[in-house]
Amino acid sequence: MASEHPRANLPPLSLHVPEPRFRPGDPVDFAAVDVPAAGSARRPDTATPAGEFHELAYTLVRVLDDDGQAVGPWDPKLSPDMLRRMLRSMVQLRAFDERMFRAQRQGKTSFYMKALGEEAVAIAAAYALDRDDMCFPSYRQQGLLIARGYPLVEMMNQIYSNSGDKLGGKQLPIMYSAKDFGFFSISGNLTTQYPQAVGWAMASAAQGDTRIAATWCGEGSTAEGDFHSACTFAAVYRAPVVLNVVNNQWAISSFSGFAGAEATTFAARAVGYGIAGLRVDGNDALAVYAATQWAAERARTNQGPTLIEHFTYRAEGHSTSDDPTQYRSAGEPNAWPLGDPVRRLKDHLIAVGEWDEERHAAQDKEVAEEVKAAQKEAEKNGILGHGLHQPLDSLFDGVFEEMPWHLKEQRQQMLDEETASGRPWARK
């Protein structure tokens, strides 16, 4: 008689498949989201070893309380003028996003991605970093350019891939590149910017420079190998870099659980690598500023890298190609417990007597007109919806410093075929 299998009494193995708490049509209740009181997180000295404040990877660094007051040890104590500059940049980003979103819907460009609800993440960080620090963004950090004063017309030229596009129409709309503004070329391949940022920071240190690097990715991208390779190099060589993870709850239609959010926080990745980790209220501009400033000081004083998780919420679709009503409850954006970053900063300025609703409304109108004027100026150079705006043979430019013979042959073959086709738009 055959003996019974030694594990016959055990249940079969099974896999856990993450599932978001709310789907289309579900009522939303974010009561399970732990939001600690503003000002409750301690602020270690920037020279403190990373292993001595692990709890900061599991709580939330917050500055603005429910009354709009800045409280606690992380309050950066910014001047009213600085706060107003940050608020204006956030309002400008929101107005820019709205106009470019409508431009895509009007067929003027092929693609756009809004940062609605995440404005504080890029804007506050840009003000906390030095002007010559190098930023390696993902595709929702256009606020870095706006905060650093990059011309709106140039951003729109790139979105329209028109004759004024300094990238020659070779990048997908919103994938900017502006070296002079410390803004590294955006890539559509997820998280390639992480090892690039760490490598740049290592080179800066090797050369005895004082500039640091900062990079951003979404929480879903922490599942990419590039993220972990970058963290390893950053930890081993104590690279002067700030590693930002924007946890906006959704990676296109996959919720954050698929990247590990059900198991722990994304800031906890730092604990495993032995580097400093902070989890920050990403809708609190003062908290983002303070955390970035703190991390930048650590990097600049050779204390090594810091990983910051910005806990926020993507208020609209992933892009103009996405329909979030197909995978999440329509009630989520308004129910998000950390509120609207623009409104929270505005309310803070009003609470301290440095702003009012009338001035805010006037600023909204002024910024809207400014963005509208920039759009009209950019559209003088053409729009993507009207076809090719760059010389066709420029397709081969910018790959090699000196074009090799085989590309020259291919370019000539292309031009000959276009000439034979009789299409006059092929060259300008």
pLDDT, tens only, 47-101: 999 999 999 999 999 999 999 999 999 999 999 999 999 999 999 999 999 999 9
Say whether 5 is catalytic: no
pLDDT at 428 exceeding the cut of 70: no
Question: How much is the pLDDT for 424?
Answer: 57
Instruction: In whole angstroms, give the CA distance from residue 251 to residue 99.
Output: 24
> Rounded to whole angstroms, how far apart are CA atoms 202 and 197?
9
HSE-CB at 63 with a 13 A cutoff on CA atoms is: 23
Residue 427 has pLDDT above 50, yes or no: no
Which residues make Cβ contacts (< 8 Å) with residue 209, sequence separation at least 6? none
Cβ atoms within 10 Å, residue 30: 15
Other C-beta atoms within 10 Å of 320: how many?
20
Read off the pLDDT of residues 137-187 as tens digits, 9 standing for 90 and up: 999 999 999 999 999 999 999 999 999 999 999 999 999 999 999 999 999
Q: How confident is the model at residue 394 (pLDDT cuts 50, 70, 90)?
A: confident
DSSP state of 13: P
Looking at the predicted structure, is the pLDDT value of residue 253 above 60?
yes
Collapsing DSSP states into helix, strand and coil, what is residue 83? helix
Q: Which of 54, 88, 327, 411 is catalytic?
A: 327
Contact 248, 281 (CB under 8 A): no
Distances (CA, A) of 166 to 145, 163, 381: 15, 8, 12
Max CA pair span of the chain: 89
Q: Are residues 344 and 67 in contact, defined by beta-carbon separation less than 8 angstroms?
A: no
Q: Which residues of 324-348 are buried (b: 16+ CB within 10 A; e: fewer)?
A: beebbbebbbeebebbbbbebbbbb
- pLDDT value of residue 8: 82
Question: pLDDT tens for residues 279-294?
Answer: 999 999 999 999 999 9
pLDDT of residue 189: 92
- Among the ranges given (130-134, 194-198, 261-265, 422-426), the one the predictor scored with the smallest mean pLDDT: 422-426
Chain-wide mean pLDDT for the chain? 95
How far apart are alpha carbons 53 and 78 in whole angstroms?
25
Give DSSP secondary structure letters for 254-301: EEGGGGTTTTS-STTHHHHHTSEEEEEETT-HHHHHHHHHHHHHHHHT
pLDDT over 70 for what percent of the chain?
A: 98
**Mean pLDDT, residues 106-111 taken together:** 96
CA distance linking residue 148 with residue 255, whole number of Å: 32
Distance, CA of 305 to CA of 397 (rounded, Å) = 37
Q: Does 2 have pLDDT greater than 70?
A: no
pLDDT of residue 247: 98
Length of the chain: 428
For position 281, what pLDDT does the model report? 98
Phi-psi region of 41 (alpha: psi -120 to 50; beta: other; left: phi over 0): beta
pLDDT digits (tens, 9 = 90+) for 320-364: 999 999 999 999 999 999 999 999 999 999 999 999 999 999 999
Q: Is 314 a catalytic residue?
A: yes
Per-residue confidence (pLDDT) for residue 426, from 0 to 100? 44
**pTM beyond 0.85:** yes
Confidence of residue 308 (pLDDT cuts 50, 70, 90): very high
Residues 190-223 have pLDDT tens digits of: 999 999 999 999 999 999 999 999 999 999 999 9
Determine the Cα–Cα distance for residues 246 and 221; give it in Å rounded to an integer. Answer: 10
In 213-253, beta strands by DSSP E: 213-218, 241-247, 250-251
Q: From the candidates 84, 148, 211, 318, give the one annotated as an active-site residue.
A: 318
Query: Strand, helix or coil at 339?
Result: coil
DSSP tag of 337 = T
Catalytic residue (choose from 314, 328, 348, 360): 314
Q: Please compute the mean of the pLDDT values over residues 294-317 and round it to a whole number.
A: 98
